RNA sequence: GCCGGAGUGGCGGAAUGGUAGACGCGCACGACUCAAAAUCGUGUCUCGCAAGGGGUGUGGGUUCAAGUCCCACCUCCGGCACCA
């Protein structure tokens, strides 16, 4: 046996062996085993594995390995989310082919991933930029297209001037591009959308039964933004100007008159309306041009609004502005009162009806606006003071004719019934999936000479990404520069037919990748339905918190849509979700090259070993609490010391003379104590891994090893058995060193030893966990005064006597009367005086 | 402003309402060594020689007993934000 723990030699050796033996290859069914699908978000092939990848993959591998030892048939796949902007940007900057850049990165990162010692099933590897994969992304797109769930429309969309492409709503964070943090602007473009709004209610309802962190559920709930309210129609007052044409959009004719529809959640304040506000985008404005007396002023205001960025426009702190539509008045259906109409950019064009009824007495925004433009403020809800600010709470109605004295909630129902209709609105928008970029999945659509869109037939899939493109061309999608693509379309479809030149958002690729893992090589279907039945829904999915309202919402939408199309068996894709935390630099800051605080995992692995790095990451804090943990260069030595200790004990055990030592010559209690601790450790480690509390599992193992080290001399036989069991507990954390020790201790040639990772997970014995002796704390009024050791399950009376005799010596109770005695079995006895 | 989460040693962090600070780092002292490193041992919330007192963001409360439950507040992190 080697006497030095040489991590490099051991790790390379076993990684090679596991690969040769196909140790982690998963088949779809194993008799007598339950399937378990453990999924981690697959990486983008950026070119280098960082410590965050290690955290994301190596730590959950501990759980995966335990599950496998617990007789589950575990699938733990890996792949690459390989379409995306960085490849294209690298291509533009360095003149390399994005394809080459991506695939070279994948090759390199695969090697890095191997060094983790993870139990990935590489045979199921998928790469989203492979035509074999994106063929099915396109096929699924067409299924949605056929059902009307993918559609094209002209809309004002978010445009990132730096990335030169549009962005989905979810990819705009506080008015800035999620990727490059450039301020986004608005552009009117014809774009492809997925109809996520059709699933708003289902996405909301589905959250209830998911075993997901509360934070994600709440965040998605907010993002979907359901609000129930009332739609009210305000007729416009007829005036002497000529009537507009009949076939209008935006405004609606009722009894020959135009009206403005507003959406409100506080219809109980209807009698307090003193004006209406239209969003600058409201279509009615352009239909009223011959009635608006100050048209020039209005047009100027609208133009100014358009020039503002999204950030400027939606800045809550900004002073509200607006212009009155002279000559236009609306009639409050509740009391017949005429109210003025304003256009103001604090009302959003793309939410609700794009128009609101303003109740300055009971809405902060309306209050501010009314004060500025000296508009009437009428109190209709009692319970507040509206002299300096709006009262937005509930109350009892006043100044509301028949409804005076009614409570807000009741009034909402009654007023809705009489003057409006109940309506539900969602904040969620449709998912914009077009991207004006090259390195993505081509949208499988062509246009006929009239410009009408048509599906590309299945036999022409995969619809290949062309290669003869100019990546630097401005103001058009790179695909538009491909001669080959143009010719391909004309050859297949006819003259003057043209290709769609946008590619899909990469989030489309990742919305179904976990389905492909179940059947990665299938050439006839995106995945076999029977195979999906074995694995879907995913049992446990772990990843980063940044995907809450993007990937996780998109996947849920996609899956629900596929379910309704009969293509998958379940309507939710992921049963349990775990959000991991974040590893910070040693300075407690986010790692970044510019700060120079980046930890290179390769260097760490070289110096202390993969087992140590894995375990240190698991030890740094609870994995599932989204915490932020600084990488402590000092702290990692604690784990290394622990593994060195394990190594040393293994040596001692192996080098012991083989002749049996007489156990009787040692105190029997030592053996019992060790067994007791071992079984407690099995329980603790098993439960903690199950709950992703790897940090406390490691701490329990450290306690065990420290005890074992002390007892080794006195209990050689029991220690050996206990150590053997302990190794299995440690195996998921430190797969290499345990495999090495295991193979040596079992004195077989290394080639024939059964891997420790194929061993059965230890089970604890409830009887052995039970303590023989315990310490009972004696309290007076809840304060600890003394403690005594006694046998377990001591009766209350005995405990009381013992405690009292202890207390008597100390005179704590002299002259005091005992009012009450609280006895907590095996823990505490408390005297209340 | 709204929604979620968190505040515990010098640091990362432990604690089914039942002995706060497990485990690890760091630090101090000791052993080994010519010496250092490594390793091992002891100690390490705080005031106090001790007995004892105080202590989990702040202030209240419930309870025999509160880091844990309730109320109010403060701070920090994440998300949403003129959504009517």
pLDDT in tens, A545-598: 999 999 999 999 999 999 999 999 999 999 999 999 999 988 888 888 888 889
Distance (Å, whole) CA A616 – CA A420: 62
- Residue A698 vs residue A350, higher pLDDT: A698
Whether residue A790 has pLDDT greater than 80: yes
- Is residue A454 within 8 Å of A500, Cβ to Cβ? no
In whole angstroms, B53 C1' to A811 CA is: 18
Whether residue A817 has pLDDT greater than 80: no
**Is the CB of A691 within 7 Å of strand B?**
no
In whole angstroms, B73 C1' to A162 CA is: 45
Sequence-distant (≥ 6) Cβ neighbours of residue A518 within 8 angstroms: A28, A75, A527, A528, A531, A532, A534, A535, A536
Residues 417-456 of A with CB under 7 A from strand B: 425, 427
pLDDT more than 70, % of chain A: 94
In whole angstroms, B68 C1' to A829 CA is: 20
Question: Can you give the pLDDT at residue A763?
Answer: 95
Whether residue A256 has pLDDT greater than 80: no
Cα–Cα nearest to A537, from A576, A573, A578: A573
Question: Can you give the pLDDT at residue A602?
Answer: 95
pLDDT-based confidence at residue A113 (cuts at 50, 70, 90): very high
In whole angstroms, B82 C1' to A277 CA is: 12
**What ipTM was reported for this prediction?**
0.95
Whether residue A94 has pLDDT greater than 80: yes
- Is residue A194 within 8 Å of A557, Cβ to Cβ? yes
- Out of A112-126, A280-294, A495-509, A711-725, which region has the weakest mean confidence (pLDDT)? A711-725
In whole angstroms, B24 C1' to A727 CA is: 20
Q: For nucleotide B81, give the residue with the nearest CA to its C1'.
A: A316
Whether residue A245 has pLDDT greater than 70: no
Cα–Cα nearest to A368, from A380, A359, A379, A356: A359
- Out of A25-34, A305-314, A478-487, which region has the weakest mean confidence (pLDDT)? A305-314
Whether residue A811 has pLDDT greater than 70: no
In whole angstroms, B28 C1' to A753 CA is: 47
CA angle A44, A46, A50 (to 5 degrees): 95
Q: Where are the alpha helices (DSSP H) in A115-213?
A: 131-146, 200-206
**Is the CB of A627 within 7 Å of strand B?**
yes
Give the mean pLDDT of A88-102: 93
CA angle A508, A510, A515 (to 5 degrees): 110
In whole angstroms, B39 C1' to A6 CA is: 18
pLDDT more than 90, % of chain A: 69
Distance (Å, whole) CA A38 – CA A41: 10
- Out of A381-395, A441-455, A654-668, which region has the weakest mean confidence (pLDDT)? A654-668
- Residue A794 vs residue A324, higher pLDDT: A324
In whole angstroms, B79 C1' to A596 CA is: 29
- Most distant pair of Cα atoms in chain A: their distance: 115
Question: Can you give the pLDDT at residue A664?
Answer: 46
Whether residue A750 has pLDDT greater than 60: no
CB atoms within 10 A of CB A296: 9
- Kindly report, residue by residue over A189-215, the tens digit of the pLDDT: 899 999 999 999 999 999 998 999 999
- Residue A819 vs residue A136, higher pLDDT: A136
Question: Can you give the pLDDT at residue A53?
Answer: 95
Verify cis geometry, omega within 30 degrees of 0, for the bond prior to A629. Answer: no
Residues 319-338 of A with CB under 7 A from strand B: 320
DSSP states of A356-381 as a string? EEE-GGG-HHHHHHHHHTT------B
In whole angstroms, B76 C1' to A392 CA is: 29
- Is residue A766 within 8 Å of A680, Cβ to Cβ? no
Whether residue A238 has pLDDT greater than 60: yes
Structure tokens at A641: 């010391």
Nearest nucleotide by C1' position to the A782 CA atom: B65
CB atoms within 10 A of CB A25: 12
**Is the CB of A833 within 7 Å of strand B?**
no
Residues 735-764 of A with CB under 7 A from strand B: none
Sequence-distant (≥ 6) Cβ neighbours of residue A75 within 8 angstroms: A26, A35, A36, A37, A38, A121, A124, A517, A518, A535
What is the DSSP secondary structure assignment for residue A788, as one 8-state letter?
E
Question: Can you give the pLDDT at residue A242?
Answer: 47
Sign of the dihedral through C-alpha A15, A16, A22, A25: positive
E strand segments, A580-678: 582-584, 628-630
Whether residue A344 has pLDDT greater than 80: yes
Give the mean pLDDT of A474-494: 95
Give the mean pLDDT of A602-607: 94
End-to-end CA distance of chain A: 65
Question: Can you give the pLDDT at residue A666?
Answer: 55
Give the mean pLDDT of A610-614: 97
For chain A, how big is the Rg over CA atoms in Å? 35
Nearest nucleotide by C1' position to the A310 CA atom: B82
- Residue A373 vs residue A183, higher pLDDT: A373
- Kindly report, residue by residue over A270-329, the tens digit of the pLDDT: 999 999 999 998 999 988 888 889 999 999 999 888 887 777 777 777 889 999 999 999
Nearest nucleotide by C1' position to the A701 CA atom: B23
Q: What is the mean pLDDT of chain A?
A: 90
DSSP states of A148-160 as a string? TSEEEEEEEEEEE
- Is residue A784 within 8 Å of A810, Cβ to Cβ? no
pLDDT-based confidence at residue A349 (cuts at 50, 70, 90): confident
Distance (Å, whole) CA A468 – CA A460: 19
pLDDT-based confidence at residue A748 (cuts at 50, 70, 90): low
Instruction: Give 3-state DSSP helix, strand, coil % of chain A, rounded to 5.
Output: 40, 20, 40
Residues 201-230 of A with CB under 7 A from strand B: 214-215, 218-219, 222-223, 225, 227, 229
- Residue A739 vs residue A712, higher pLDDT: A739
Residues 249-268 of A with CB under 7 A from strand B: 263-266
CA A675 vs CA A350, A445, A722, A731: distances in Å: 68, 68, 7, 20
Cα–Cα nearest to A351, from A229, A252, A504, A193: A229
**Is the CB of A820 within 7 Å of strand B?**
yes
Nucleotides of B under 7 A from a protein CB: 3-6, 11-16, 18-20, 22-26, 39-41, 52-54, 64-66, 77-84
Structure tokens at A57: 């993959």
Question: HSE of A498 in the Cβ direction (CA atoms, 13 Å)?
Answer: 11
- Kindly report, residue by residue over A47-88, the tens digit of the pLDDT: 999 999 999 999 999 999 999 999 999 999 999 999 999 999
The SS3 assignment for A8 reads helix
**Is the CB of A392 within 7 Å of strand B?**
no
Nearest nucleotide by C1' position to the A783 CA atom: B65
pLDDT-based confidence at residue A747 (cuts at 50, 70, 90): low
Structure tokens at A262: 């507003």
Structure tokens at A475: 């103001």
What is the DSSP secondary structure assignment for residue A407, as one 8-state letter?
B
Q: How far is CA A197 from the centre of its chain?
A: 20
Give the mean pLDDT of A616-625: 94
């Amino acid at each position: 046996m080697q006497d030095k723990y040489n991590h490099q030699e051991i790790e390379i050796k076993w990684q090679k062996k596991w690969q040769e033996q196909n140790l982690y290859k998963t088949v779809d069914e194993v008799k007598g085993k339950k399937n378990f699908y453990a999924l981690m978000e697959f990486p983008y092939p950026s070119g280098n594995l960082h410590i965050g990848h290690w955290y994301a993959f190596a730590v959950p591998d501990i759980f995966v390995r335990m599950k496998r030892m617990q007789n589950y048939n575990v699938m733990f796949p890996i792949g690459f989310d390989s379409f995306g902007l960085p490849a294209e940007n690298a291509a533009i900057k360095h003149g390399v082919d994005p394809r080459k850049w991506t695939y070279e990165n994948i090759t390199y990162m695969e090697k890095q991933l191997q060094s983790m010692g993870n139990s990935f099933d590489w045979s199921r590897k998928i790469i989203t930029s492979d035509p074999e994969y994106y063929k099915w992304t396109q096929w699924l797109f067409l299924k949605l297209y056929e059902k009307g769930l993918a559609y094209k429309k002209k809309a004002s969309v978010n445009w990132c001037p730096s990335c030169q492409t549009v962005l989905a709503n979810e990819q705009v964070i506080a008015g800035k591009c999620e990727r490059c943090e450039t301020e986004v602007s608005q552009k009117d473009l014809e774009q492809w959308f997925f109809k996520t709004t059709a699933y708003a209610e289902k996405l909301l309802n589905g959250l209830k039964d998911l075993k997901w962190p509360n934070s994600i559920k709440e965040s998605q709930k907010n993002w979907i933004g359901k609000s129930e309210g009332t739609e009210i129609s305000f007729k416009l007052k007829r005036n002497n100007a000529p009537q507009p044409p009949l076939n209008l959009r935006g405004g609606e004719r009722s009894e020959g008159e135009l009206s403005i529809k507003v959406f409100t959640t506080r219809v109980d304040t209807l009698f307090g309306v003193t004006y209406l506000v239209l969003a600058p985008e409201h279509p009615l404005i352009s239909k009223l041009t011959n009635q608006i007396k100050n048209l020039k002023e209005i047009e100027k205001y609208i133009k100014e609004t358009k020039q503002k960025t999204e950030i400027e426009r939606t800045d809550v702190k900004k002073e509200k502005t607006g212009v009155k539509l002279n000559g236009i008045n609306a009639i409050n259906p509740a009391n017949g009162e005429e109210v003025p109409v304003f256009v103001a950019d604090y009302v959003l064009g793309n939410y609700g009806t794009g128009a609101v009824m303003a109740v300055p007495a009971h809405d902060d925004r309306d209050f501010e606006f009314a004060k500025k433009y000296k508009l009437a403020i009428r109190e209709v809800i009692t319970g507040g003071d509206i002299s300096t600010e709006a009262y937005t709470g509930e109350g009892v109605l006043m100044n509301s004719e028949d409804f005076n004295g009614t409570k807000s909630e009741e009034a909402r129902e009654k007023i809705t019934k009489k003057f409006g209709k109940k309506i539900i609105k969602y904040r969620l928008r449709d998912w914009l999936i077009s991207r004006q970029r090259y390195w993505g999945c081509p949208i499988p659509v062509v246009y006929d000479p009239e410009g009408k869109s048509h599906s590309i037939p299945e036999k022409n899939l995969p619809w290949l990404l062309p290669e003869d493109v100019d990546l630097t061309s401005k103001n058009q999608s790179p695909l538009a520069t491909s001669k080959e693509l143009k010719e391909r379309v004309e050859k297949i479809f006819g003259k003057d037919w043209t290709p769609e030149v946008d590619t899909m958002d990469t989030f489309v690729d990742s919305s179904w990748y976990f389905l492909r893992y179940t059947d990665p090589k299938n050439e006839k279907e995106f995945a076999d339905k029977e195979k999906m039945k074995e694995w879907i829904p995913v049992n446990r999915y772990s990843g980063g918190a940044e995907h809450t309202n993007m990937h996780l919402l998109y996947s849920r939408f996609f899956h629900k849509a596929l379910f309704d199309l009969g293509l998958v068996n379940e309507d939710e894709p992921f049963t349990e979700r775990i959000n991991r935390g974040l590893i910070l630099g040693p300075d407690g800051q986010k790692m970044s090259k510019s700060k120079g605080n980046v930890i290179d995992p390769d260097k760490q692995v070289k110096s202390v070993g993969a087992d140590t790095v894995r375990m240190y990451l698991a030890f740094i804090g609870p994995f599932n609490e989204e915490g932020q943990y600084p990488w402590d260069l000092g702290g990692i030595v604690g784990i290394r010391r622990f593994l060195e200790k394990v190594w040393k004990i293994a040596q001692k055990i192996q080098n012991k003379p083989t002749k049996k030592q007489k156990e009787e010559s040692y105190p029997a209690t030592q053996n019992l104590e060790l067994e007791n601790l071992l079984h407690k450790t099995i329980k603790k480690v098993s439960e903690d891994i199950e709950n992703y509390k790897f940090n406390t599992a490691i701490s329990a193992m450290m306690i065990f090893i420290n005890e074992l080290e002390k007892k080794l001399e006195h209990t050689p036989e029991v220690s050996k058995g206990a150590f053997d069991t302990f190794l299995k507990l440690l195996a998921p954390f430190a797969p290499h060193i345990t495999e090495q020790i295991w193979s040596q201790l079992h004195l077989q040639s290394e080639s024939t030893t059964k891997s420790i990772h194929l061993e059965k997970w230890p089970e604890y014995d409830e009887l052995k966990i039970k303590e023989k002796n315990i310490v009972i704390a004696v309290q007076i009024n809840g304060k600890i005064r003394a403690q005594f050791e006694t046998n377990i399950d001591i009766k209350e009376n005995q405990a009381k006597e013992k405690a009292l005799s202890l207390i008597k010596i100390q005179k704590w109770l002299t002259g005091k009367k005992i009012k009450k005695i609280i006895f907590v079995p095996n823990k505490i006895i408390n005297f209340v005086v």
